[in-house]
Amino acid sequence: MAKRDLLSMDDLSRADVELVLDTAESFLPVLHREIKKVPTLRGRTIINLFYESSTRTLASFELAGKRLSADVMNIRARGSSVDKGESLKDTTLTLSAYSPDIIVVRHPQIGACKLVSACSAASVVNAGDGKHQHPTQCLLDLFTMRQALGRELDGRSVAIVGDILHSRVARSDIQGFLMMGMEVTLVAPPTLLPHEVEALGAKVSFDIADIREADVVYLLRMQTERQDAGANFIPSLREYAALYGVTPERLRAGQRVMHPGPINRGVEISAAVADDPETLIEQQVESGLAVRMAILYRTIVGMDERDDEEGA
Amino acid sequence: MTAEQMRRTLVRIAHEILEKDHGAGTLAIVGIHTRGAFLAQRLRGLVGEFAGREVPSGELDISFYRDDVASRGVLGAVPSTLNPVVKDTSLPFEIDGATVVLVDDVLFSGRTIRAAVDALFDYGRPVRIQLAVLIDRGHRELPIRPDFVGKNLPTALKERIEVRMTEADGVDEVVVVRPPRSTD
Amino acid sequence: MTARLWAAGGKAADLVVRSVRVVDPQEGLDEVRDLAVARGRIAAADKATVGKDLRVVDGRGLVALPGFVDLHAHFRVPGREDEEDLVTATAAAAAGGYVAVFGMANTDPVVDTAPVLRSLAERAQREASVACGFFAAVTRDLAGRQLTEMGELAAAGAVGFSDDGRPLESSLLVRRALQYAKITGRFVAIHAQDASLTQGGVMHEGAVSARLGLVGLPAVAESLDVGRALEIAAYEGGRIHVCHVSVRGSLEHIARAKQAGVAVTAEVAPHHLCLTDEEVRSLDPDLKMNPPLRPEADRKALVEALREGLLDCVATDHAPHAQHEKEVPFEAAAFGTIGLETAFAAIHTACVLEGDLSLSVLAERMSQGPARIAGIPVPTLRAGAPADFCLVDPARTWTVDRQAQRSRSRNSAWAGRDLTGKVVLTVAGGRLVWEDVG
């Protein structure tokens, strides 16, 4: 049986996504009971190979592996032999000495996960590669939506606001949301949309007013570098906040707000909205653990479902 | 086993459960898998009727406790008998101090029961655990024995026992399926 | 001042190819006959050849074409002999049917003075199995500021001037280069790329890059710069050559310039004739090059332009890279693919077999066209001419084996692919330099 990677949303069918979300739901009771562990992946080795600093995602993957009783190793690029100029390929080959079952990779360059997968017998899970994809984020976003809006996401609408061009979260989310039958609208200044944006399959608008009809408003973080003189993507954060910042006035009652974090208060999201208990931002973080457990579990166990005929 | 036989067997098991219940802890009935859970519901109804009181019940999904997931396959491959549908676990009663009767449709190698016992202990500390099965087909691989048995049905390894229940299959019956004879 | 070629000497070939289809576009020749080589020259068809070591090759099913000439290769010497040197580059060239190859100047040190050029010439005389020529840089150290001593470099034999690898940012520099190079009669070869529009770009900017998140190289960045260079050439006069054309916008500028009588020639690389940006979805670093692979509409336009002669020649832009520079995430990988060994086979498979290009036209664009631009003797199969030809088997299917490349480097965009059409024998400068007649 060939090993199974999760490098991008291309690797999942709609049925796969639903299976992962259902599996995540099964893990929720585990996370709420006294003994928050299951012995499922005991004896397996999971290595988290993170070349970008990220407390949140790393913690989520680490805990997910441990809750499944796997042996988990974290390798951060800072302070390891990577800094001595060891190539990604060599680092991966070195890690194979530990016979990992899964390597979770976060790397600032697109194509890094592909390389790790080519150099290793382990299954590779992409925790974010450059501006390309962040499939586990998309899955936890879908899970959060399901929990909040109900299992049927078909026909629901979502507006994604912000720097689509530079966002791996956006790329994965657009693909995932469309796959689940949702209507997706992208709202951003033209400079922050890819050149042939139609290829992504979503509606496009330059006007923040167009988020009004959506069931969910998904905000992306606006990086300060985008206003830098060399880049000139936006003239200033001030103007971005004025034209695209989501404030309570721009939202309709009943709309749910999401954000992959970390948030930039006062830029893409006003303080009032950030502090509103109705947003789903906290739930996204909580979902992350169950969803990542489901992903690790499915990566090892596979996506085929068979109704158990025999008792045992 | 016909539907009528199944009904009478369950009635008998329900009586036996109550007989052996010395009140050591609160009696609770927990079913495993799809059909174990259906059986548990039926038993709960019967036991409750005979005892004249509500008996708590629940259902257990043991996918995360199976021993074959943790074992190594080639490149993380899992033996083909695996990948069960992961269903809900629901135990809406206090496990600490309970006498839990685990219910399953067919007892075979004993591994499912081992997993169920492990799962139960991750939820709490029962006073005792008993096992009720509709069919015991032999071929045990672990030292597991049932407290209550519907019918002992010795079988060959190649044969399969299919338990069908109205809740899922529209009919109540138990059949033994022999593999088709090879024609060459 | 003519372009010079250098090669190591060797035994003149004596061989006869029986019943081979001989195609010579310049001579208007396309017939099946015997082709004989006597002491390194094409012998008259009916004469029996002399010489003790007469080699007889069964030419049935094979085609004899004038030897190919590559106007754009990177030899990586001096400076990166770990990636390629003249021995391996010419071995790859020979296996690809080439009889002359020209190396670009972006080496370390840059070929920006006559002594560097002469030392390369000396090396070629020792190491090159196939004739080598060299470009000299337009500006010192490729810095884009000060012109090189074009007069001396041309006298030393440079075929032309190019800062390929780096675009010439200053319009004034482009003008001065075209003006000054007139002294030499040589041409200036332009790597057209608007620097400010291509910051950080790693693939074509389009639907595929939108999906992948890779920073794009917009088509306008090339066509804009081609337009600028050609307008200056129209204004100033002088010979200009456009390197590795990859987009339709560039073709429009070239067509207009040719119409207006500008002395412009243009080349296209095999990968732009055969592959598109869709391939990059695999994130295989061997498919990363600059200019990048473009969409199908551009590819088709390039094939048509080559057929019509709007594009004058095929040039491989053979770019060897060390393993550690390519076996990295796509974003971080070096740009370029090797191509000398596979050029004919790749274009034959993707264009000739598809009916978009005839074998005869392809031969002209790979051989006689570039030879004329370079100002070197045009390879021909006329009796009495020096033997500079290759034999191809149009029906032979083979798999490009990554590990078995004759180049020192492994980064081939065609690694692992099946191609139909193979160069099975090459005679360069009258010497038998390659055979795989099988």
Our count of domains for chain B comes to 1
SS3 label, residue C287: helix
Residue B68: its pLDDT value, please?
Answer: 67
Nearest-angstrom CA–CA distance, C229 and C253: 10
B148-161 pLDDT, tens per residue? 999 998 888 888 88
Q: What are the residue ranges spanned by the domains of chain C?
A: 63-435
A23-36 pLDDT, tens per residue? 999 899 888 888 88
Buried b (16+ CB within 10 A) or exposed e, C259-287: eeebebbbbbbbbbbbbbbebbeebbbbb
Choosing among A132, A167, A225, A226, which should be mutated to test the C contact, i.e. which has the most C CBs within 10 A? A132
Taken in order B32, B36, B42, B46, the sign of the CA dihedral is negative
In the numeric block, the tokens 């397996």 are attached to: A44
C165 torsion bin: left (phi>0), alpha (psi -120 to 50), beta (else): left
Which residues from chain B sit within 8 angstroms of residue A102, using beta carbons? Answer: 76
pTM of the complete model: 0.87
The reply to whether CATH 3.40.50.1370 applies to domain A9-133+285-301 is yes
Question: For position B60, which CATH number holds?
Answer: 3.40.50.2020
Which residues from chain B sit within 8 angstroms of residue A29, using beta carbons? Answer: 88-89
Residues of chain C numbered 197-256 and touching chain A (CB < 8 Å) = 199, 205-214, 216, 218
A14-66 pLDDT, tens per residue? 999 999 999 999 899 888 888 888 988 988 999 999 998 888 899 999 999 99
Residue B79, in any domain of the structure: no
**Do residue B76 and residue A42 have CB atoms under 8 angstroms apart?**
no
Whether residue B72 is predicted with pLDDT greater than 50 in this model: the reply is no
Nearest-angstrom CA–CA distance, B97 and C33: 101
Distance from CA of A281 to the nearest CA of B (A): 26
What is the topology classification, in CATH, of domain C63-435?
TIM Barrel (3.20.20)
What is the topology classification, in CATH, of domain A136-284?
Rossmann fold (3.40.50)
Q: Which two tokens stand for residue C146?
A: 């000060």
B11-57 pLDDT, tens per residue? 999 999 988 887 656 899 999 978 899 999 999 999 988 888 889 99
Are A9-133+285-301 and A136-284 the same fold in CATH?
A: yes
**Do residue B73 and residue A30 have CB atoms under 8 angstroms apart?**
no
Distance from CA of B54 to the nearest CA of A (A): 25
Length of chain A: 312
In the numeric block, the tokens 């033996």 are attached to: B79
Residue B176: its pLDDT value, please?
Answer: 87
Nearest-angstrom CA–CA distance, A5 and A12: 10
Portion of chain B with pLDDT greater than 70, in percent: 86
B89-137 pLDDT, tens per residue? 888 898 898 999 999 999 999 999 999 999 999 888 999 999 999 999 9
In the numeric block, the tokens 């109900």 are attached to: A150
* pLDDT band for position B71 (cuts 50, 70, 90): very low
CB atoms within 10 A of CB B180: 6
Residue B166, in any domain of the structure: no
| Parent domain of B134 | 3-69+89-156
Three-state DSSP string of C91-131: HHHHHCCEEEEEECCCCCCCCCCHHHHHHHHHHHHHHCCCE
Q: What are the residue ranges spanned by the domains of chain A?
A: 9-133+285-301, 136-284
Which residues from chain B sit within 8 angstroms of residue A121, using beta carbons? Answer: 75
Distance from CA of C321 to the nearest CA of A (A): 16
Mean pLDDT across A119-127? 96
Residue A85: its pLDDT value, please?
Answer: 64
Residue B164, in any domain of the structure: no
Q: Is A42 a catalytic residue?
A: no
Q: Which of A88, A198, A200 sits opposite C329 (nearest CB)?
A: A88
Residue A3: its pLDDT value, please?
Answer: 79
Residue B23: its pLDDT value, please?
Answer: 67
* pLDDT band for position A291 (cuts 50, 70, 90): very high
Residue A32: its pLDDT value, please?
Answer: 86
Closest residue in A to C330 (Cα) is: A111
Residue B168, in any domain of the structure: no
Residues of chain A numbered 43-102 and touching chain C (CB < 8 Å) = 87-89
Report mean pLDDT in 10-residue bins for chain C, 438 residues: 90 92 95 92 68 79 98 96 96 98 97 97 97 97 96 97 94 96 96 94 97 97 98 96 98 98 98 98 97 98 98 98 94 96 98 97 98 97 95 97 94 97 97 91
Whether residue B81 is predicted with pLDDT greater than 50 in this model: the reply is no
